[in-house]
Structure 1
Amino acid sequence: MRPTLPLLLALAALPAAAAEPTLDACLAGLRPQALAQGISGATWDTHTAGLARDQGVLDSLDYQPEFRTPIWDYLAGLVDEQRVADGRAMLEEHAPLLARVQDAHGVDPATVVAVWGVESDFGRTFGKKPLLGSLATLSCEGRRQAFFKGELFATLKLIQAGDLSAEGLVGSWAGAFGHTQFMPSTYARIAVDFDGDGRRDLVGSIPDALASTANYLRRSGWQPGKPWGHEVRLPEGFDAAVNGRTSRRPLSHWVGRGVVRADGGSLAASDAPTALLLPAGREGPAFLVFKNYDAIFSYNAAESYALAIALLADRLRGGEGLQARWPTDDPGLSRVERRELQSLLVARGHDIGEVDGMIGAKSRAAIALEQIRLGREADGRAGQSILAALRAEASPAD
């Protein structure tokens, strides 16, 4: 269940625990299994010594924004003008490298750079959690302990092989890390040495990271030279009961029912398996998606995530963005606008932590308090409405 607003307010005000239990007993129990998988005793002892339980990663285990955030909020922060501009600069800066990646793995530069931009903001944000501590905690508590134990072992094998350095190794709460946020087991299977230095380094090597991302997509079924899909318009009276990524029909089926591209481009009938996506229902944007969308979806199995990659890639190719509007009267905020909102909250005396454009529990709690003060529904959501209200108060008319 999604945390209620009172719970968020309470969590934001809780002091840090005086003493957290260590992972020593659990890690001691895992040591024989690690050694049986080829991890040396020295590697295990060196890199698990002193690890401490991290309650934060356990809290995050049941709260993932891809599944809980309205899609218009999710996309507003990931496909904003700042990321588009930065992505186009990356396309230009790394054009020779990206051409070699495309020759080797068949994935176009815009798609590779879109993944890079969404996953780490082009290498600016790898995550803040010490990787080994996160994976150790998740290996011993919470859901999916067996999965995270495998990821912990995979990380230690990569360190032991010399691909990674344990020093300063950070990632997401769940253990994804590097320029394009591979999970350790995926890193072990998919990563390639593209700069020729004898190491598969997705943290320190942009060539290795981008080539490995393209390798992942190609091995997930990417079809070179084919589109991921198109935004489309549905005719009046269209029966949209059959929709969803797994409800495939030949493209000719949709064309025959009057579906057309939103940008006016051609949509030639064919036997290509095609799905209709309505991520916000019949009143929001509609998409026809093909095999390449599935390859993107496999990177992080959430429709909002896959659409963020696909739509950002389209913008990097020069596209104008979505034609249809999302069905909301309170659109989401770009990262610049989120930072502005946080600054306004700080100016009103709220302790939200760093002004970083990341709307976490403290920011949501502060927004909710402002909404209560303004006589609004206190949902803690960062939208255009609350931003406009706080702007108006900060800059009253003469």
Structure 2
Amino acid sequence: MAPALLAALLAFGALSATPASAQASGERRAVTAVRGTIPYATRDDAMRFADDVAARRNLDRNWVRATIGAARLLPNVPRLMLPAPVGTAKNWRVYRSRFIDPVRIAAGARFWRDNAATLARAEAEYGVPPEIVVGIIGVETIYGRNMGNFRVIDALATLSFDFPQAHPRAAERVAFFRGELESFLSTESRTAEDPMVPLGSYAGAMGMPQFMPSSMAKYAVDFDGDGRIDLVNNPADVIGSVASYFKGFGWQRGMPSTFPVRFDTTRLQMPILMAPDIKPTFSTDSFMAAGAVLEPEAQPFPGLLALIELQNGAESPSYVAGTQNFYVITRYNWSSYYAMSVLDLGNEVKAAMAQ
């Protein structure tokens, strides 16, 4: 195991269960955890998983069984994982309005001002601009205001052993959440912290940036050098860790995330342009040969492009050309609508900073 990764694992136990409130005030608020119902100690499948994790990770078997056994089913969480019913119209303007509002923009400007030097250092080290980091933290938790009130162990156990089978990718998602539960157990076993304490989202994401346990292990950094990683109360660690995450997924310094795009209807081949979805696949020449038209400032772009479609309900969709950096943002949340919200919020906050 690399020393840096081991340090991250050891430091993870410093993650506090008491979320911070608005960073501008520096106040903290008590959070009452959502209580689960039936403990997983009664489930044979959960105990078999505990034994398997203990054997593969060389962990104390009794501790793993006791920890998973103390986790409780969250009855309302499985339904939250189900996709929208077939035929539900997507609407970018409605989606955007959930995240781009005066409250988030004002909170983002305060966060940026309070942490300007740290944001600049993160850009210098990782190449990720402040507006991207600020956009992520704002969309995820409004800068620490809404970090979740579910016990992480309950959320991960529920989605590991009671994931809805009606989900079209149920087997894949169960494997994902069991991997996250294993990562959480492995990390907690290396600390003196109580694994029942950390709180997060109903999916088990934690802290201001809502990192899953495996992301904590791989990308979280002690950015202020105080010897511990705290993604709940320490904005420096949050900023550095978000930038580290993007760098780890291939963020390219100085590359725009999107370009405006329009279409030449005389040679438009929309099925070809849409086939790769959001993954950058087209050179500038092949993109334009299929009928996409870029503004002169985007030509010639040396990287690959994707056509990003944002549906607007019954109205015409919106389109942009997405680069590798746009694709990297979707590695945080696999949604083009999410990525555009991050970009738009970051840009709105940046504009507010200039006023």
TM-score, shorter chain, exceeding 0.5: yes
**Is 1:280 paired with 2:311?**
yes
- 8 Å CA contact 2:115, 2:235 repeated in 1: no
- 8 Å CA contact 1:97, 1:207 repeated in 2: yes
Correspondence 1:297-312 to 2 at 5 A: 297-312=330-345
> In structure 1, how many angstroms separate the alpha carbons of the residues matched to 2:342 and 2:180?
25
Correspondence 1:1-398 to 2 at 5 A: 21-24=38-41, 25=43, 26-36=45-55, 37-41=57-61, 43-44=63-64, 47-63=67-83, 70-142=91-163, 143=170, 144-162=173-191, 166=195, 168-235=197-264, 239=268, 241=270, 242-243=273-274, 244-246=277-279, 248-254=281-287, 259-261=293-295, 266-280=297-311, 283-318=316-351
1:236: how far off?
5.8
Residue in structure 2 matched with residue 343 of structure 1 by the alignment: none
Q: Radius of gyration: which is bigger?
A: 1
Q: Which amino acid in structure 2 is aligned with residue 274 of structure 1?
A: L
- CA deviation vs aligned residue, 1:352-376 (integer Å, no higher than 9, x gap): xxxxxxxxxxxxxxxxxxxxxxxxx
Residue 237 of structure 2 aligns to a residue whose secondary structure is helix
Residue 317 of structure 1 aligns to a residue whose secondary structure is helix
1:311: how far off?
2.0
Q: Which amino acid in structure 1 is aligned with residue 117 of structure 2?
A: P
TM-score with structure 1 setting the length: 0.67
1:304: how far off?
1.1
After superposition, the Cα gap between the structure-2 partners of 1:227 and 1:163, relative to the gap in structure 1 and judged at 3 Å, is: farther
Q: Which amino acid in structure 2 is aligned with residue 100 of structure 1?
A: R
TM-score with structure 2 setting the length: 0.74
Identity %: 27
- 8 Å CA contact 1:234, 1:286 repeated in 2: no
> In structure 2, how many angstroms separate the alpha carbons of the residues matched to 1:44 and 1:118?
34
> In structure 2, how many angstroms separate the alpha carbons of the residues matched to 1:68 and 1:44?
44
> In structure 2, how many angstroms separate the alpha carbons of the residues matched to 1:313 and 1:76?
14
> In structure 2, how many angstroms separate the alpha carbons of the residues matched to 1:102 and 1:43?
41
- CA deviation vs aligned residue, 1:249-289 (integer Å, no higher than 9, x gap): 2224556757245xxx8333234211222222792322011
> In structure 1, how many angstroms separate the alpha carbons of the residues matched to 2:84 and 2:221?
29
> In structure 1, how many angstroms separate the alpha carbons of the residues matched to 2:288 and 2:174?
46
| Bigger mean CA deviation after superposition, 72-81 or 215-224 | 72-81
> In structure 2, how many angstroms separate the alpha carbons of the residues matched to 1:101 and 1:47?
36
Residue 179 of structure 1 aligns to a residue whose secondary structure is coil
- 8 Å CA contact 1:107, 1:214 repeated in 2: yes
Residue in structure 2 matched with residue 360 of structure 1 by the alignment: none
After superposition, the Cα gap between the structure-2 partners of 1:46 and 1:29, relative to the gap in structure 1 and judged at 3 Å, is: closer
After superposition, the Cα gap between the structure-2 partners of 1:258 and 1:51, relative to the gap in structure 1 and judged at 3 Å, is: closer
After superposition, the Cα gap between the structure-2 partners of 1:278 and 1:172, relative to the gap in structure 1 and judged at 3 Å, is: same
After superposition, the Cα gap between the structure-2 partners of 1:83 and 1:138, relative to the gap in structure 1 and judged at 3 Å, is: same
1:145: how far off?
2.9
- 8 Å CA contact 2:261, 2:320 repeated in 1: yes
Q: Which amino acid in structure 1 is aligned with residue 52 of structure 2?
A: Q
> In structure 2, how many angstroms separate the alpha carbons of the residues matched to 1:211 and 1:203?
13
| Bigger mean CA deviation after superposition, 181-190 or 45-54 | 45-54
- 8 Å CA contact 1:43, 1:156 repeated in 2: no
- Answer 1 or 2: higher relative contact order, Cα 8 Å, separation at least 6: 2
- CA deviation vs aligned residue, 1:165-194 (integer Å, no higher than 9, x gap): 646421111111111111111211111111
Name the Cα RMSD after superposition: 2.9
- CA deviation vs aligned residue, 1:55-106 (integer Å, no higher than 9, x gap): 11111121479x9753222111112232222212211110011111112211
- CA deviation vs aligned residue, 1:106-138 (integer Å, no higher than 9, x gap): 111110111111111111111121111111122
Structure 2 unaligned regions, length at least 5? 1-35, 164-169
Q: Between Structure 1 and Structure 2, how many residues are aligned?
A: 297
Residue 182 of structure 1 aligns to a residue whose secondary structure is coil
Residue 343 of structure 2 aligns to a residue whose secondary structure is helix
1:53: how far off?
1.2
1:210: how far off?
1.5
1:247: how far off?
6.3
Structure 1 unaligned regions, length at least 5? 1-18, 320-398
| Bigger mean CA deviation after superposition, 107-116 or 144-153 | 144-153
> In structure 2, how many angstroms separate the alpha carbons of the residues matched to 1:137 and 1:214?
30
> In structure 2, how many angstroms separate the alpha carbons of the residues matched to 1:209 and 1:302?
22
